[in-house]
Chain A
Amino acid sequence: MRTVGGARRGLNLWLLQRASAVVVALFIPGFALYAGGRGSFDFAGWRALFAPVGVKVACLLFVAALLVHAWIGLREIFIDYLHAMRVRLPLLFLFAVTYLACLIWAADLLWNVK
């Protein structure tokens, strides 16, 4: 039977974890400055934040990087504490599917803010 995972894959994920971290770490202060510069919000003001297409794209990139980062992080934790493959693999699958759904949901939410 084929072994699941391997050293090469581990290295790729290690790098991807850092790359996604950089995207998230750049977005959070950037968005805080963008939003904070506009003071306090009512409903219309809050929606207006997400109206420009550039903001939608930046937010969706952020969500994508965050979800990749979260999945790799959970994988690290599962590898450390869940040694039974029949538990670990279904959980990784469950989170992958859930996060993919979250990404599609986030795109729908963002592009519905006119």
Chain B
Amino acid sequence: MRRPFFLDLRLIRLPVGGWVSILHRVSGAGLSLAVPGLLYLFMLSVRSPEDFARVANCLSGITGRLLLFGMLWGILHHLFAGLRHLGFDLGWGEEKTRARQSAWAVLVLAGALALLITVGER
């Protein structure tokens, strides 16, 4: 039987925990697909001084920096949101206001730290 469902993404208002949750999934999917590419970059970086320089140059260009930021944000968001979920598994911070606070903390910390590292990297 087909039950009725509501899936108008323009009208759905997610609470902050919902955003952290869907971004956890999106970042996880993105990182999973990125693994072979990252291994390829690692291969270049340890293969020869020329390839090492190529990778370093790529990462300092504007496109490279955007990619680096995206990758760092994905890693950090997934890591922090994951730690929050491990906390829930242990029964920590399940109360509503606490859960909302930790959700905001994940969003802000991941974004800020990714930005800091991207800008700080020469």
Please give the distance in Å from B5's CB to the nearest CB on chain A.
14
A55 contacts B by Cβ under 8 Å: no
Please give the distance in Å from B79's CB to the nearest CB on chain A.
6
Contact A25 B83 (CB under 8 A): yes
**Interface of B, helix, strand, loop or mixed by DSSP:** helix
Instruction: Please choose the segment from B8-16, B31-39, B57-65, B99-107 that sits at the chain A interface, where 4 or more of its residues have CB less than 8 A away.
Output: B31-39
A interface residues, tally (CB under 8 Å): 28
B21 contacts A by Cβ under 8 Å: no
B interface residues, tally (CB under 8 Å): 23
Complex interface residues of chain B between 77 and 110 (CB less than 8 A to chain A) = 79, 82-83, 86, 89
Complex interface residues of chain B between 33 and 54 (CB less than 8 A to chain A) = 35-36, 39, 42-43, 45-46, 48-49, 52-53
A106 contacts B by Cβ under 8 Å: yes
Q: Contacts A21-B82, A73-B28, A95-B32 given; 15 further ones with Cβ under 8 A?
A: A18-B86, A22-B86, A40-B122, A43-B52, A43-B53, A46-B52, A70-B28, A73-B32, A74-B32, A77-B25, A98-B36, A102-B39, A106-B42, A109-B39, A109-B43
Partner-A contacts on B (CB < 8 A): 25, 28-29, 31-32, 35-36, 39, 42-43, 45-46, 48-49, 52-53, 75, 79, 82-83, 86, 89, 122
